[in-house]
Chains A and B, each alone.
Chain A
Amino acid sequence: MRQKVFNWGRYPQGDVDLLPLYYLEELDELTSKPCIARGNGRCYGDSSLSSQVISTITFDKALIFDKKQGIFKCQSGMQLSDILDIIVPHGWFLPVTPGTKFITVGGAVASDIHGKNHHTEGSFSKHIIEFEIYSGEGLHYTCSAKEHPDLFHATCGGMGLTGIITSVTFQLKKIESVFITRVQEKARNLDEAFELFEKYSNHTYSMAWIDCLKGGNSFGRSIMMAGEHTTLNELNAKQKPEALKLLQGSKLNIPLDLPSFMLSGLSVKSFNELYYHKILGKVKQDKTYFDQFFYPLDAINNWNRMYGKHGFIQYQFVLPLSTSRAGLVEIMEKIRNQGSGSFLAVLKQFGPQDGMLSFPMEGYTLALDFPFRPGLLKFLNKLDELVLKYHGRLYLTKDARMDAEVFKASYPNLGEFINVLDKYVPKRSFSSFQSERLFG
């Protein structure tokens, strides 16, 4: 059935044949034309759009949960939210989680997602025991770091281009409670922010909200947020028996597409509230439910509609350690002068990473939203030049518009990736609007 489909940024929109996957046996027929897998559409741009899309949302069964060893196996369309509901009451947690729990495991592998713990625990692929993938022509492979390692490393972060991941087995992480012991600290400027990342580098989780509009002495003012899973010892007698109990939150809905002018007002207000009221002193420590720590935005359904019906682009880049500071200053100045970026951005430290197309590299990553406006694409091309100048790159799962040249110049293992495609998918049976743009 032909229909209009778009992902989280609501840009671009594609006319798409969206075909649901129920059973493995259907794959031969479903992939007879070039196609791409789509999970829950939480990537921002066109990574999971193509004229033929295989939707895995209906392919979502839990297959194995070893409660002793903390090993979980499921079909690729299962969502992290469902996995959390199952594992948390048994004292297990996701090894890596993004800022929303409404993504599928297949999407987690294909984007090789990172969480607030990248600097300490790496990306999702580091915790995969094995996965199964259908690469077309009736061929299924089981892949791990040892078995078909080339296909394994190309698939993690490979944006669906190596085939349809069908099941994933991964290692969970032990927890003692549903809470996170959180520390928040204000940084008055960018230098202080970098110092705080150093200070909190031993914390499992860390990230900072950064104000992109403030100039002068307050340039780069931020709120650092670090966290650890709360241990039983930290809970009082009343909390202990309920340490692993899931809480059900209610959700706010954003029913209509808000006009985009509302936006800056809204976010300015919320940041100020955070900055001036929430953290009264310089440092604040508290315990928070894991949902609030990891998924603050999930509490507002469809928050992406805040940007109005034209959608938005999330721009996320990473710079290597050596150029992070200088690069961030120049890029943030540019954004500030142009004045069209979101007020709030997320700054995060990455640890070392190897992979073929995985996004992270040791250094710092900044992510911010740009509501769609005339002239935006040109402006972002200018930002790309700066990212290249500082030897950085853009996150493919957030991308909707990068040029092939920028992509080729910034992903050094691209050649290796293409060799794997030649070996396993010589007919290039899997392609997206994004891959057509970047590889074409």
Chain B
Amino acid sequence: MAFDPSSLRPLFPILSQQAYDHPLTYLDNAATTQKPLSVLDAIQGYYLSFNANVHRGAHFLSDRATNRFEQARDTVASFINAPEQSHIIWTKGTTEAINTVAFGLEHLLEKGDEILITSLEHHANLVPWQQLAFRTGARLRILPLTSNGKWEPEFGHYFTDRTRIFAATQISNAIGVSTPLPTMLNYAKQQGAFTLVDGAQAVAHHPVDVQALDCDFYVFSGHKMYGPTGIGVLYGKSHALEILLPYQTGGEMVRHVSYQATEFNVLPYRLEAGTPHIEGVIGLAAACDFLNAQDRLALLAWEQSLASHVYSRLQKEGGIDIYSPEKNTTLVSLSVPNIHILDLNAYLDSQGVAVRAGSHCAHPLMAQLGVAGTLRASFACYNTMEEANRFCDVLLEAIDLLNDE
């Protein structure tokens, strides 16, 4: 029996509002998801009953805050099946997590070393590596998706004995394509490269097991998985985290400081300078609890069924270029020849339908696809089939209105 999202709707009251006199249809979930009441309650609960700085202890509230804060680390560790909580580093989000690794590994790179990424990457998983390459004389190499949206049958040759870092997204935010991670990570490991997986677009949809993936680093943002903004996670294997030089220093990350030297704290604190985003951490743990309480595979199947329904409806209409896969994805990314995506977006917006039009922070990928940008409808567990159909109806209306005879 198909999953019924109506049981989840009451948990997301923000969705039951009108936008310009139309029911709000929120299909911009790949940008950020809405937050269930349990996440909002957790954040408010923190301020109502245990707000204090963490790890500075020695009083009732601070002990409570510290306990809950460290419990949250356990929750997140088991959410991605990390072996221990010390593998979980709090960051602002995916972007800061990747920067932490890019700066932390800088001391290991030499001129002529190679950093390999794929052509699907969000700027967050591209620019930090490019800048690292500029600073060290390393070479940034790109493993490309071919023009028909497939991977080359033989991409092993991109991994060389100079590959020091391999960083790849699990799922493309712009076109919803998944990367064949097991194969790629295997090649990278054979060359002894550090591996980083950008899970920003995966965590809300797919159960994640970092031990099964066996990557050195796994990064994601809370706000794309029903959690608050401003909090994200850098997971790393022990030796991988140990090797990172802290890219920010200051309080909390130290054990002893004199004017001559500083002894850094142990993991995870060594990589968490300053007072952390405590409410964000508490909220993120609540988001994990929310997802853990669901039948995750049923949610995924539902989200994928919405995307493939939209795909096949629009495919039948014709005249629409679709860049996302037909199946096994939770978003639809498209453009219409001779109609600007911003015009389509404006009409959808006027009807209360929220999608994203643009380059999705992936300029090189857009250039490869030969478009300035795409229109993306991305689904979450609370979206209904009516909403998927409404997107199609309003999009087709927009095309009618904007088509020049």
Q: Do these two chains interact?
A: no
A contact residues vs B (CB 8 Å cutoff): none
